[in-house]
Chains A and B, each alone.
Chain A
Amino acid sequence: MPRRVAIVAAAPTRTSSHRTDVTYPELVYEAVSAALEQAGLQAADIDAVTYGSMDPFDGVFAPERWNVEACAGAGAAHRPLMKITTGGTTGGSTALAGYYHVASGLFDVVLAVASQRVGETLEAQLVLNTAIEPIYERWLGAGAITIAALQAVRHFWRYGTTEEDLALISVKNYENARRNPNAHLMRMLTAQDALNTRLVSWPLRLSDCCPSSDGACAIIFASEERARQIAERPAWVIGAGQITDNYWVGDRVWYEDWDSLSMLARRVYRQAKIQDPLAELDVAELYNAFTIQEIIEYEALGFCEKGKGAELIRRGVTTMQGQLPVCPSGGVLCTNPIGASGLIRVAEAALQVMGKADDRQVPGVKKALAHSWGAAIGFHTLMLLSSEAP
């Protein structure tokens, strides 16, 4: 059995399409200093750092170097720092790396930081296109939006999901984001407004797609002994894992289902002894960069049967008042600093367990799930947090 590990602080920054009010190191410092303050720790208390970002969006190669002193003075103190990059899952992978730093017994207090300035990118989809296999698939123009559109087309065809269902997902997330001061898009949106936004890649409309955001996030992981000293109500890690599917977009036949996520969910639920996720989880922060993905994630994560995802949102099960609120933060749909978004999911889940989610708090959260996906929808990470130690 690994050591028990808990999150003792979680601090996402404010986000916008371009945080021109801060330099890159200042943005990272904003997240790190907020996390340290929340935990009541000093920079010197940090034993090691894990850092996530997807450099190609920043216009800076290896930005963790430039930002090294913003990470609790890691350079001057010659601390261990490890850079993680795994596409959209970068933030989730950075959290996992932070978890393993402590679980291994090598470190007691570890800072996980993720940042992204998509505002420095001329066009994020062009950057994403370079991820696609260069000989057969790249010239088709595939990027995150077009691949998500394929998922939607297949889901509509196979399961009868409609544009109106997607609009319900948008409305729920936009409404939640208005209670989250760190969200990027904070405005009223009705279902009719959503259906009136312009088509981006059929059947996805503008309101079905995430924005490009600048933002950062910091989390502090601690060993059992330190966690009990630092936090009154830490968020214990009771399950964690990631999975890597193949890289050929054309090799994934079932776009309407996310089988790699189902497989990962089974592994993580087994670790955490979860039998019925809909009944046992109190909140979920999912990586819903596109509305259709939230619906497919409900199914892959076992909140409902395959093909029944849209019914959950029609019945309001995943709204703030429902049985299992999904993305009280507004999710990736309303805020997407790409490499940081996965860590923000973990941070939001941790804040819910710690009872520190302010206006977006779901009452009495005991178990929270954080998810991220990345690459050409081939990577996933999951982290399950609990108010009770495993």
Chain B
Amino acid sequence: MTARVAIVGIGQTALTTAADDRQYHEHDFEAARLALADAGLDRGDLDTVICSGWDAVDGRTISDMHTAMSAGGYLKDSSHVGEDGIMALAYAYMRLTAGLFDVALVSAHGHAESSFETVSNVVFDPLFTRPLGQSHLVSLALQANAYLQRYGLSEEQASAVVVKNRDNGAGNPRAHLQQSVGMEEVLASDPVCYPLRALHCPPQSVGGVAIVFASEDAARRISDKPVWISGISWAIDSYDLGSKEISRLGSLATAAGKAYRMAGISDPVKDLDLAEVHDITAFHELMAYEALGMAPEGGAARLVEDGATALGGALPVNPSGGVLCANPYGAAGLIRAAEAAQQLRGDAGQRQVPGARRALAHGMSAPSGAAARTDCVLILEGG
């Protein structure tokens, strides 16, 4: 039996197109200050800090030299994951459950200094796939197409996810895109890489997020609304797109199965009140429903058609508007956890799911789109 850990502070910056007056680590700084203020703590109360980010995207070697300071890590026992911030959360969780630390802060930033799409080509091996122009988006499009072909999905069915999430994003004051879009607009948006159209894909956003965690005793002392982590698991997928079934999100299904077991969840649609999933494209939100056991294989589009995953439905998915409304690469996964925790505290404003007690947060850490993507699944519970 592992010790209990809770979220006791959340800090999110606004998410925007560009921040010319900032360096990347300044997003971590603002988010960390907000998270500490939210928890009512001081930098001196932190025992350990875990930062996250990709040097190749930040354009610096050892980018955590800067973020560790900005996130309050000076002279502390701090570390850094070369992943989305959701994996910094996973690491901090282990540090706390090991019993050596009581209070941890994790931070993540997205900074549009370089094109993620261009940099992602360098993830692919230099011998076979890199020369083909393989990239984050191209690999996601291959996956979307495989899913579309396998189940005879229509373009309208995938586009309905965009309409739902953009509607939700319109109620999120921190979202990058806060305008609703209609079905015709999605279907008329520019083709990017078949079958993906521009509005099926997320923007590239800048901004930061930080979360403060505490072990059980400290959490009760710090917060009157702690959000407990009752399930956590993460898994990586194969790298070679040619030797796996890409129409399914295998690593997400594996991680979800383990997180559900840990949290005692047997029927996610019934047992969960909301989910924040990493909708890296509209198609991937549908694929995620199936991997998360919310719909049978090929049955995800029905959930959207029935309004089951809209605000007010049986299981609202991405009440924040999701990644389709704000995508700071490297922070978008950790933001899912922040948004889910805010729902459980009843702090989600216009997008609040009434009476939410148990939520799922899914963050993807994937510098390379579909190739060797990592999925982390959290089950969170309100006090």
B and A form one assembly: yes
Binding site for B on A (CB under 8 A): 1-3, 23-24, 54-56, 59-62, 64-66, 68-69, 74-76, 78-87, 93, 96-97, 100-101, 103-106, 127-128, 130-131, 133-134, 241-247, 260, 263, 267, 374-376, 378-379
B69 touches A61 (CB 8 A): no
B233 touches A62 (CB 8 A): no
Given contacts A54-B61, A79-B236, 7 further A-B contacts (CB under 8 A): A2-B100, A62-B123, A66-B125, A78-B235, A84-B81, A104-B93, A131-B62
A-B contact pairs, 10 of them (CB 8 A): A1-B99, A55-B82, A60-B122, A60-B123, A62-B54, A62-B56, A75-B239, A103-B98, A130-B60, A247-B69
Which A residues are CB-close (under 8 A) to B83? 82-83
A247 touches B82 (CB 8 A): no
**Whole-angstrom CA separation of A59 from B73 in the bound complex:** 29
B199-239: CB near A (< 8 Å → 1, else 0) gives: 00000000000000000000000000000000001111111
Q: Residue B251 at the A interface, CB < 8 A? A: yes
CB-contact partner of B79 in A1, A56, A97, A260, under 8 A: A97
**Whole-angstrom CA separation of A96 from B100 in the bound complex:** 13
**Whole-angstrom CA separation of A84 from B251 in the bound complex:** 20
Contact of A84 with B97 at beta-carbon distance under 8 Å, contacts A68-B236, A75-B236, A78-B250 already known: no
A56 touches B123 (CB 8 A): no
Which A residues are CB-close (under 8 A) to B234? 80, 82
Which B residues are CB-close (under 8 A) to A103? 94, 98-100
B75 touches A247 (CB 8 A): no
Which B residues are CB-close (under 8 A) to A79? 235-236
**Whole-angstrom CA separation of A101 from B97 in the bound complex:** 10
A139, chain B: closest CB distance, angstroms: 15
- Interface residues on chain B, size class: 35 or more
Pick from B146-154, B318-326, B367-375 the stretch touching chain A.
B367-375
A106 touches B61 (CB 8 A): no
A79, chain B: closest CB distance, angstroms: 6
A351, chain B: closest CB distance, angstroms: 25
**Whole-angstrom CA separation of A245 from B77 in the bound complex:** 10
Which A residues are CB-close (under 8 A) to B66? 133, 247
**Whole-angstrom CA separation of A252 from B216 in the bound complex:** 37
B123 touches A86 (CB 8 A): no
Contact of A85 with B98 at beta-carbon distance under 8 Å, contacts A56-B55, A61-B120 already known: no
Which A residues are CB-close (under 8 A) to B235? 78-80
Which A residues are CB-close (under 8 A) to B75? 243-245, 260, 263
B91 touches A131 (CB 8 A): no
A104 touches B94 (CB 8 A): yes
Which A residues are CB-close (under 8 A) to B54? 55, 61-62
B91 touches A82 (CB 8 A): yes
B250 touches A82 (CB 8 A): no
CB-contact partner of A246 in B64, B74, B123, B127, under 8 A: B74
Residue of A nearest to B253 (CB): A78
B239 touches A247 (CB 8 A): no
Which A residues are CB-close (under 8 A) to B126? 59-60
Q: Residue B115 at the A interface, CB < 8 A? A: no
Contact of A100 with B98 at beta-carbon distance under 8 Å, contacts A60-B125, A84-B79, A245-B74 already known: yes
Which A residues are CB-close (under 8 A) to B97? 104-106
A252, chain B: closest CB distance, angstroms: 12
**Whole-angstrom CA separation of A133 from B25 in the bound complex:** 12
> Within residues 129 to 155 of chain B, which ones have a CB less than 8 A from any CB in chain A?
none
B236 touches A375 (CB 8 A): no
Contact of A54 with B62 at beta-carbon distance under 8 Å, contacts A62-B123, A62-B368, A65-B372 already known: yes
**Whole-angstrom CA separation of A93 from B91 in the bound complex:** 12
**Whole-angstrom CA separation of A65 from B61 in the bound complex:** 19
Q: Residue B80 at the A interface, CB < 8 A? A: yes
A291, chain B: closest CB distance, angstroms: 23
**Whole-angstrom CA separation of A267 from B83 in the bound complex:** 28
A101 touches B94 (CB 8 A): yes
CB-contact partner of A242 in B77, B122, B367, B374, under 8 A: B77
Q: Residue B87 at the A interface, CB < 8 A? A: yes
**Whole-angstrom CA separation of A375 from B69 in the bound complex:** 13
B200, chain A: closest CB distance, angstroms: 24
- Pairs A-B, 3 closest by C-beta atoms: A104-B94, A103-B98, A75-B238
**Whole-angstrom CA separation of A171 from B275 in the bound complex:** 61
**Whole-angstrom CA separation of A66 from B59 in the bound complex:** 21
**Whole-angstrom CA separation of A130 from B56 in the bound complex:** 11
Best-buried of B2, B68, B80, B82 by chain A (most CB within 10 Å): B82
**Whole-angstrom CA separation of A80 from B234 in the bound complex:** 5
Contact of A87 with B65 at beta-carbon distance under 8 Å, contacts A62-B54, A244-B74 already known: yes
Which A residues are CB-close (under 8 A) to B250? 78
B2 touches A85 (CB 8 A): no
Which B residues are CB-close (under 8 A) to A23? 127
Residue of B nearest to A93 (CB): B79
Which A residues are CB-close (under 8 A) to B123? 60-62, 65-66
Contact of A69 with B98 at beta-carbon distance under 8 Å, contacts A85-B64, A105-B2, A378-B65 already known: no
CB-contact partner of A97 in B91, B239, B240, under 8 A: B91
Contact of A75 with B2 at beta-carbon distance under 8 Å, contacts A60-B125, A86-B79, A97-B91 already known: no
B65 touches A375 (CB 8 A): yes
A69 touches B238 (CB 8 A): yes
Q: Residue B95 at the A interface, CB < 8 A? A: yes
B61 touches A127 (CB 8 A): yes
CB-contact partner of B56 in A1, A56, A97, A379, under 8 A: A56
Q: Residue B119 at the A interface, CB < 8 A? A: yes
CB-contact partner of A80 in B62, B98, B236, B371, under 8 A: B236
Which A residues are CB-close (under 8 A) to B19? none
Which A residues are CB-close (under 8 A) to B127? 23
**Whole-angstrom CA separation of A84 from B95 in the bound complex:** 14
Contact of A66 with B65 at beta-carbon distance under 8 Å, contacts A54-B55, A244-B74 already known: no
Residue of A nearest to B374 (CB): A81
Which A residues are CB-close (under 8 A) to B125? 24, 60, 66
**Whole-angstrom CA separation of A66 from B127 in the bound complex:** 11
**Whole-angstrom CA separation of A19 from B255 in the bound complex:** 36
B236 touches A78 (CB 8 A): yes
CB-contact partner of B80 in A1, A86, A376, under 8 A: A86
A128 touches B61 (CB 8 A): yes
CB-contact partner of B60 in A65, A69, A96, A131, under 8 A: A131
Which A residues are CB-close (under 8 A) to B90? 82
Which A residues are CB-close (under 8 A) to B238? 68-69, 75-76
Residue of A nearest to B49 (CB): A244
B7, chain A: closest CB distance, angstroms: 17
Residue of A nearest to B78 (CB): A244
**Whole-angstrom CA separation of A356 from B45 in the bound complex:** 43
Which A residues are CB-close (under 8 A) to B261? none
B236 touches A131 (CB 8 A): no
**Whole-angstrom CA separation of A44 from B100 in the bound complex:** 29
Residue of A nearest to B71 (CB): A244
